[in-house]
Amino acid sequence: MNFIRISILLSFFIFGLQNVQSQSYNFKTSGFSVLEKNQKGTWGEWSNLDLVNLSVVLDTNKHRIVVYSQEIQLFSILDYIEREENDTDIVYSFMCKDNDGKECKLSIITRKKQDFRKQLYINYDDHIIVYNIFSV
C-alpha cells in the first residue's frame, strides 16, 4: 500500500516539474514600421520607424505569441515552420491566427550581418508590421 502512495506522489511530482519547464521567450521592442499594399495591389513603402517600448512573449507551451501593445495582439500558433538559415539570416516562423481569427505568418528573424539584430515580422496578405526586438 505504501508503494502505491509513493508511486502516486512521485508521478505528481514528475508531472508537476514538466509544467514548470515551459518554453517562454521574452522580448522588448524598440521600434516598429508598417508596409501596406495600395489599391492596385502593389506594396507601398515602409512607414517611418516609430519608437515603441512593448513586451512580446513567445510561449511555446501555450502555443501563442503576445504583443502587449495598447490593444493586446494575441496570435495563436497553428503551425511551427522549420527553422531557416542562410548567410545573412536565421528565421523562425509560425503560422498563426490573430485576435480576429485572421491567418498570418509571424517570423522572428536574426540578422547575422547586422550585429545579430532581431526583428519580428507579422505578415498579412495586405500589410506587414515589423518590430525591432531584443531578448530580455
Confidence (pLDDT) at 107: 98
Confidence (pLDDT) at 13: 39
Low-confidence residues of the chain: pLDDT under 70: 1-22
Whole-number Cα distances in Å, 27 to 57, 58, 125? 6, 8, 25
Reported pTM: 0.82
